[in-house]
With several copies, the nearest count.
Chain A
């Protein structure tokens, strides 16, 4: 198989396919399992300053073409989490710690206290009050928080952006200005489902975030827009289920992709995607450099 390895956002990846934040990232064992299954890197569940149990159930709605989730950032707090990261790091891939907080100081404190191969700043969870997208939809906040974390750690910092804005490019530019090593797009779309038998919103939190195939076209557009204005790499996430989706995302400008909801189909997805990308490159006689961002060059 043609090598897909390379450096993306300051991390050396064997393959440009990464386990997305919040997906099977609660325990060190499951992070390691994803790495052993072939993930190029693994991102943890987002952790913060204090333990949270998360929202009451139901926490997910399973749709034909996606998932709506409102987990509510359950996490044992960064204090309990170093151990899980350490177990995760016994696996063959770098571990990226996803962190959240209510502002620069909280973010910096959590980052300073954890040892990981990189950090991903969750400025984009759409269903946690005063956190995630609620602060991450303002470029100012994105820039400040990124800068604060960059000053606190000496490993790469990735910034995960919300698509629930008029222009995601402003957020990407703010992250770059703040010193981010890469941006990750997109987090889930604000969404809701209602039970027509009873009239109750299905999620315990009433609403949540939409992921899976349904959002892929929105993610592709976000990645295309971001990669058109940024100098730092864009990591594409949203609805990637197979190698075709990954290739499309890379053509839009993603240097690497993350996979979340598709893990419902099991851990095999990492290898399938990597093999599929490699054979497509072989068939077409393209290099990775030629693949990434090809769509923009086609219409230039």
Chain B
């Protein structure tokens, strides 16, 4: 097999055999693979559900990903069980960098997955970790106990069925931002945009793991490019300093598979 050199060995497709499937909630499952990769938190892989599609998924640990079923490919994933295999390309992209002594993880929905992985690494590095995570409702909450194990945890739900009622931003009030060296964000774009906006003055200390429509995932097709600089999110991101997100499309619009401009909701 001669795959991979041009894009580094990470671009080589490997066979990922599922070892275990963990049901996190109705719509979220964690898939653990037999062979761990060597990702750094924030990096992702392209997951090929054979016969269906190839989609980007963050690592939620060296050997796993945590998936929210939202459409065709993610739902097809849910049909798989231990022993089944997927095609994997990765780890790809640039992950988070750990900075300072006290860090704050801010996640929404399945966006908490890469943050949990980051929290593990932060603890290994001796850092103090606070997590602020938001979900729509109590039954959507995932990875709570994993994050609780890392340090202080603040939970919000839109409907107040668990934790603080409201959006994640409601929970922000509970954190003394002056004590925090770095903020790590992952979740729905408007949630991240809201947090960044509230913390504009410290945008250089916020790292956001963002989503765009990925096709090639190796920085050539242009599908994921971010205005106004043309940052190739798949190759230069998906983690990007909030500073670079302030004056552009982020939080305002997003391109779909055809390249046409649409909403950045979801």
Write the residues of chain A forming the contact surface with B, with a CB cutoff of 8 angstroms. 22-33, 45, 51-54, 56-67, 69, 71, 74-77, 80-81, 84, 193, 195-198, 200, 202, 204, 212-213, 216, 241-242, 244-245, 260-261, 263-264, 266, 298-299
Among B61-69, B147-155, B174-182, B228-236, the stretch that binds chain A is B228-236
Q: In the complex, are the beta carbons of B222 and A195 less than 8 A apart?
A: no
Q: Tell me, rounded to whole Å, the shortest Cβ–Cβ distance linking B6 to chain A.
A: 6
Q: In the complex, are the beta carbons of A57 and B229 less than 8 A apart?
A: no
A33 interface neighbour in B55, B85, B215, B229, Cβ under 8 Å: B229
Residues of A within 8 A of B257 (CB): 53-54, 74
- Assembly CA distance A51 to B227 (angstroms): 20
- Assembly CA distance A271 to B1 (angstroms): 17
Quick one: given A56-B53, A59-B215, A60-B221, are A264 and B7 in contact (CB under 8 Å)? yes
- Assembly CA distance A22 to B259 (angstroms): 12
- Assembly CA distance A299 to B261 (angstroms): 32
**Interface status of B48 (Cβ within 8 A of chain A):** yes
Q: In the complex, are the beta carbons of A64 and B4 less than 8 A apart?
A: yes
Q: In the complex, are the beta carbons of B46 and A58 less than 8 A apart?
A: yes
Interface residues of B in 205-222 (CB under 8 A from A): 215-222
- Assembly CA distance A25 to B221 (angstroms): 7
| A interface footprint on B1-40 (CB within 8 Å = 1, 0 otherwise) | 1111111000111010000000000000000000000000
**Interface status of B58 (Cβ within 8 A of chain A):** no
Quick one: given A62-B3, A263-B219, are A74 and B259 in contact (CB under 8 Å)? yes
Q: Residue of A at shortest CB range from B214?
A: A57
- Please report the total number of B residues contacting A with Cβ < 8 Å: 45
- Assembly CA distance A260 to B50 (angstroms): 28
| A interface footprint on B232-266 (CB within 8 Å = 1, 0 otherwise) | 10000000000000000000000111111100000
Q: In the complex, are the beta carbons of B53 and A204 less than 8 A apart?
A: yes
Q: In the complex, are the beta carbons of B226 and A212 less than 8 A apart?
A: no
Q: In the complex, are the beta carbons of A63 and B220 less than 8 A apart?
A: no
Q: Tell me, rounded to whole Å, the shortest Cβ–Cβ distance linking A126 to chain B.
A: 16
9 sampled A-B residue pairs with Cβ under 8 A = A24-B225, A29-B225, A31-B230, A64-B2, A64-B3, A67-B218, A67-B220, A197-B15, A241-B2
B225 interface neighbour in A26, A75, A198, Cβ under 8 Å: A26
Q: In the complex, are the beta carbons of A56 and B52 less than 8 A apart?
A: yes
Residues of B within 8 A of A75 (CB): 258-259
Quick one: given A74-B257, A197-B15, are A244 and B1 in contact (CB under 8 Å)? yes
Q: Tell me, rounded to whole Å, the shortest Cβ–Cβ distance linking A282 to chain B.
A: 16
Q: Tell me, rounded to whole Å, the shortest Cβ–Cβ distance linking B154 to chain A.
A: 37
**Interface status of B54 (Cβ within 8 A of chain A):** yes
Residues of B within 8 A of A260 (CB): 220
What DSSP secondary structure best describes chain B's contact surface?
loop
**Interface status of B51 (Cβ within 8 A of chain A):** yes
Q: Tell me, rounded to whole Å, the shortest Cβ–Cβ distance linking B130 to chain A.
A: 36
Residues of A within 8 A of B259 (CB): 26-27, 45, 74-76, 80-81, 84
Q: Tell me, rounded to whole Å, the shortest Cβ–Cβ distance linking A294 to chain B.
A: 12
B6 interface neighbour in A51, A59, A197, A261, Cβ under 8 Å: A261
**Interface status of B131 (Cβ within 8 A of chain A):** no
Quick one: given A63-B3, A264-B218, A264-B219, are A53 and B225 in contact (CB under 8 Å)? no
Q: A64-B4, A197-B87 are in contact. List 9 more A-B contacts (CB 8 A).
A: A22-B221, A26-B255, A53-B256, A54-B257, A63-B2, A75-B258, A197-B15, A197-B85, A200-B50
Q: Residue of B at shortest CB range from A64?
A: B5
Residues of B within 8 A of A261 (CB): 6, 220
Q: In the complex, are the beta carbons of A60 and B260 less than 8 A apart?
A: no
Q: Tell me, rounded to whole Å, the shortest Cβ–Cβ distance linking A43 to chain B.
A: 12
Q: In the complex, are the beta carbons of A59 and B50 less than 8 A apart?
A: no
Q: In the complex, are the beta carbons of A29 and B229 less than 8 A apart?
A: yes
A195 interface neighbour in B13, B52, B255, Cβ under 8 Å: B13
Q: Tell me, rounded to whole Å, the shortest Cβ–Cβ distance linking B227 to chain A.
A: 5
B228 interface neighbour in A29, A195, A216, A263, Cβ under 8 Å: A29
B230 interface neighbour in A24, A62, A81, Cβ under 8 Å: A24
- Assembly CA distance A67 to B6 (angstroms): 8
**Interface status of B157 (Cβ within 8 A of chain A):** no
**Interface status of B223 (Cβ within 8 A of chain A):** yes
Q: In the complex, are the beta carbons of B54 and A58 less than 8 A apart?
A: yes
- Assembly CA distance A80 to B255 (angstroms): 11
- Assembly CA distance A71 to B258 (angstroms): 10
Q: In the complex, are the beta carbons of B228 and A63 less than 8 A apart?
A: no
Q: Residue of A at shortest CB range from B12?
A: A62
Residues of B within 8 A of A66 (CB): 6
